[in-house]
Amino acid sequence: MPPLTRKAETFSALVLEVFQLNGLLLQAGDRLSAPAGLTSARWQVLGVIDHGPATVAAVARTMGLARQSVQQTADALASDGFVEYVENPHHQRAKCVSLTAAGRRALRKVELAQAEWADRMAASLAPALLASALKGLREARLRLEKDLSVEERPHEG
């Protein structure tokens, strides 16, 4: 591996920390959502469509995930009665995923558990530290989004 600059080492350490944090957050999410019959992935999909019906592709874009994995999650949610597929006024073939009453109840149950958990977790962290971490992660995400969008543009030549 080529040598890294000090800044690159720090950024790489941040990436590894985020990967580890993501794994732990998914575990915590699974624990929080299990009493409602959900998983972290199912909870995330319900959270997106809580704002209104959306296509699987739109949910995937919002979550930054592959459409196929969101399709599998949405199909499982539909099979369990948490969502239903409804007509899409903007497209004949791409149906929208919509919350059912059971999905809304499950989501609200998880939201209550998450609020209590977030209060407990935040209580042991200094507010300034949390604010600084949020600011740094948000800035890193925005720069990564910009970098990825530049790479996706067709090259002229």
Read off the pLDDT of residues 51-86 as tens digits, 9 standing for 90 and up: 999 999 999 999 989 999 999 999 999 999 999 999
Residues of the chain with pLDDT under 70: 152-157
* Nearest by Cα to 42 from 16, 79, 9, 4: 79
Report pLDDT for 155. Answer: 57
Report pLDDT for 133. Answer: 95
- Asked if residues 73 and 59 have their Cβ atoms less than 8 Å apart, the reply is no
- Asked if residues 85 and 78 have their Cβ atoms less than 8 Å apart, the reply is yes
Report pLDDT for 66. Answer: 93
Rounded to an integer, what distance in angstroms lies between the CA atom of residue 20 and that of residue 13? 11
Length of the chain equals: 157
Rounded to an integer, what distance in angstroms lies between the CA atom of residue 27 and that of residue 48? 20
Report helix, strand or coil for 95: strand
Distance, C-alpha 37 to centroid of its chain: 18
Report pLDDT for 153. Answer: 63
Find where tokens 């199912």 sit.
42
